[in-house]
A and B are shown apart, each in its own frame.
Chain A
Amino acid sequence: MMGLEKFAAANGLLVGFLFVGLLMMLAYWIARHLARGLLHGSAIAIALGLLLAWVAGEQTGGNKGVADWPLLAGVGVLGGSMFRDFAIVATAFGVRLSDLRSAGWVAALSIPLGVVLSFLCGAVVAYGFGLRDPVAITTIGAGAATYIVGPVTGASLGAASDIISLSIAAGLVKAVLVMIATPLVAKRIGLDNPASAMVYGGLMGTNSGVTGGLAATDPKLVPYGAMTATFYTGLGCLMGPSVLFLAVKALLGPA
């Protein structure tokens, strides 16, 4: 067994290709025979990936999903940020500039609006659960933006580590839910053209959620959603510890 793990680690990326290939084969089989066209194969593949990541996380206690199983460590390379960004940029090949401009200023507006909206949801929930400390409320609110904005904001405000973990969890819930729910609600929210994909990317913001959700809905829309979502986390990290924290403090009054 030890020898096999060493071999798998030395050929990690290849194991990743094989693993994803088999997973997608299973997903497309389920799509054809069990889901009967209700769900696209890629949506099922992403859901299966999340499910396996959950099982692996519960079993190993790690935080990298199936990549914490020594045999599948290579999946972490294939699914890491380097290949993800590389492939997203590749989807921009063949995008027409006129499509990118179709959403105009509304696309740009959707990013700050998305940050504030998510923050508000998280902050109100935190308040509802009895939190009154502005630092804690701000950190949870920032976590509802993305699981990066949460800890970055919490660290710069000096939040307690249990609050920071909660903010990461909130961001992870958001990312996972966006991946799963986007293909299910896509039709209802009109997510079928470049303009609405850009607005969607700006409003949801969570990079993994948006790219996963769009991949499962319509791969042609990926570059448009990724274009706006890429600015979301940066803007969130900028606004969280500054204007948003000051707004929370002003609303709650002197502690």
Chain B
Amino acid sequence: MTVHSFQEHFDKKIDDEVMIEPRDWMPDDYRKTLIRQISQHAHSEIVGMLPEGNWITRAPSLRRKAVLLAKVQDEGGHGLYLYSAAETLGISRDEMLDQLHTGKAKYSSIFNYPSLTWADMGAIGWLVDGAAIMNQVPLCRTSYGPYARAMVRVCKEESFHQRQGFEIMLTLSNGTEVQKKMAQDALNRWWWPSIMMFGPPDADSPHTAQSMRWRIKRFTNDELRQKFIDVTVEQAKLIGLTVPDPDLKWNDATGHYDYGAINWDEFWNVVKGNGPCNKERLEARKKAWEDGAWVRDAALAYSKKRKARKENNKTLAA
């Protein structure tokens, strides 16, 4: 087959909704786009362990501590599935981590915001995981097989995370005045960063059109953002919290909520490294990796020795 016919074959599969698998021919840009997106997603899971991990040792009850630990551990598991999915595209985990540590690869900017109170554990689960689910559910049908299958597992767990976050907020809003205040304060701080999680508006999103064509993406950033806002505003009402957007208004004609202007300057600034925690998050990841180097070396050296001894024993036996 010529490159031209490979391309035709690939395009037909995409059009027929046949999944692309690791050994299938794929255009270079498709591969690159997927590596960028999946590794960015994996890094987000790993960096995302930090703002929540921040409260494990301070969780207010034993039950909350156990649930939070399990949740942060799940994020690590998601990172693992996603790194494995990306590896099927011909990049190693070490290479991806190197890109994270050198700043070449990005991760979701939301994790560059600080988790300041216990209510942030609620807000992160409810809003951040809630937004992630909106983004991720369509990815269960994304065109690349290993990514789609990883996302099926991720989404099952994320919906549990979202519920536990909402339940923390619900408990706080049924609590004392100071607990309600804590919940509202968390919503105030996490609302705008959460709706920015869907990425720049469609008009300014350089990758959207191609990714839609390749069926890596199924909905545009603005479509997903709107869906999230419509659902979440109703949930906020249910627990008596106020979404911090004075322009938020139901629009009968469109059947959606209208919302105020998003501060894209802030978004781009955080992406560029000027968020409140960019430095700390990256330093924490680098420190874990560097401090762990001797441990990984030891594990490798030991497994080599063991293998050599086994070979030796076999030779002796023969």
Decide whether A and B assemble into one complex.
Answer: no
Taking Cβ atoms with an 8 Å cutoff, the residues of A that contact B are: none
